[in-house]
Structure 1
Amino acid sequence: MNASDRTPADLLRSALAADPARPLVTFYDDATGERVELSVATFANWVAKTANLLQGDLGAEPGDRLALLLPAHWQSAVWLLACSSVGVTVEIGGDPADADLVVSGPDTLEEARACGGERVALALRPLGGRFPQPPAGFSDYAVEVPGQGDRFAPYAPVDPAAPALRVDGLELSGTGVVERALADAAGLGLVSGGRLLTGRGYDSWDGLSAGLFAPLAAGGSVVLCRHLDQLAPDALQQRTESERVTVTAR
């Protein structure tokens, strides 16, 4: 990171400037066998497209509240950074009825219908696939995002001191996310170039930090594993070795 990095979006810009080709997020779903690896450049491209969708098509503005009803997943990580880019406050597992927008996975669609604002649904299928049948009342993320621009510029400056994240009773500004992520990285012994493997969910700060923010702040990368409990111990050891993992947070 640079001394001027004050939001998670700033951290991503610094990572892109430093080494766009290095891996940033490697995602496994051990229930389906899916593996996806995103370099900094590829991840940043997804973030830019999602931020353009959020700001342009969905009309989101700084200070809007977005209820994020998604599991630990590479697309969830994209949404977290897209919201930071626009200045939208992410409420992890937030009440859709109280939110300006909602982003839902396939298992929380009924709950998400309580949102009176824009609703986006993610199928969470391999390779970012779309729903076979689009859910009524939702925009299908996989349909809407490919045509968005590859570069993003916010209409209004993002205030690093404004609320950026609410999770499990904790509220953090953009600067607060960066500071806590740096502290967590130091506590885990994660350094620049390090690889952190985690099976934690995205429903807590510890899970979000290990699964995205701490590796990003440290100049490292994350091996994000969903349904890790379905992986045999010997297979986990093999993954740890093959992915050159340096730190584990399970």
Structure 2
Amino acid sequence: MAQFDTVILNGTIVDGTRTPRFQGSLGIKDGVIAAVSRNELPTSDTDRVVDAKGLIVAPGFIDLHTHYDAQIQWDPYATLSGWHGVTSLVVGNCGFGFAPVRPEERDRAMLSMSRVEAIPFESMKEGMLWDWITFPEWLSTLERIPKGVNVLSYVPIGPLMIWVMGLEAAKSRRPNKSEIEEMCRLLNDALDAGGCGWSTQRLGDGFTSVQRDYDGTPMVTDMMGDEECLAFAEVLRKRGSTGHIQITQSKGDIY
């Protein structure tokens, strides 16, 4: 049996541990890195040998802040990120995204993404599958579609607020106690399904709100108070603090 399926020779290895780069070789067996050496690994019975002279050999980069929520559905390598060494990424940042979204709210969600991230609305209309409504269903779609990168998704709070409160209410007032409790319940369900945490944007209603909704008004999360943030953080705490929080905020702290 071959010691390695693939051997990469003569590359400059940057291993991600802050070890100084060095020239060496790397052996892969059954899809797993089996050896890293400063010397030349044996290749006599290896299926594939790659000469990486003049190239960097490094772990894939992880992009924690992306908005590939739509694009990943028609671009499995998340171009251009995939071309530049990104192998894992996170979608659902800044509190906006596409789940949970009722069918009648899909155009509005795409228009919001188009204004903030300059993704053409017509591209999303043509390329998005929209075979989900809830967040767990969205994760099932992400799992099923072909991908050349690994994808995690935050639970974006904006769609959650609209789902529970309705768009008009979410735009005009803060949630009441029962609405916060329902959002926390749905957040917990979304995390059970595989969400990696939750995200939001709090940029207020002033000039600092550069990421506005498609109609020029603030995003529904822009006036979100500390009470809601702490309630959502408590969901993570009760789960053993497993998960992450991403907040786009112009100033101040959360107390």
Tell me if both proteins adopt one fold, taking TM over 0.5 as the criterion: no
Which entry has the higher C-alpha Rg, 1 or 2? 2
TM-score (norm 2): 0.25
TM-score (norm 1): 0.26
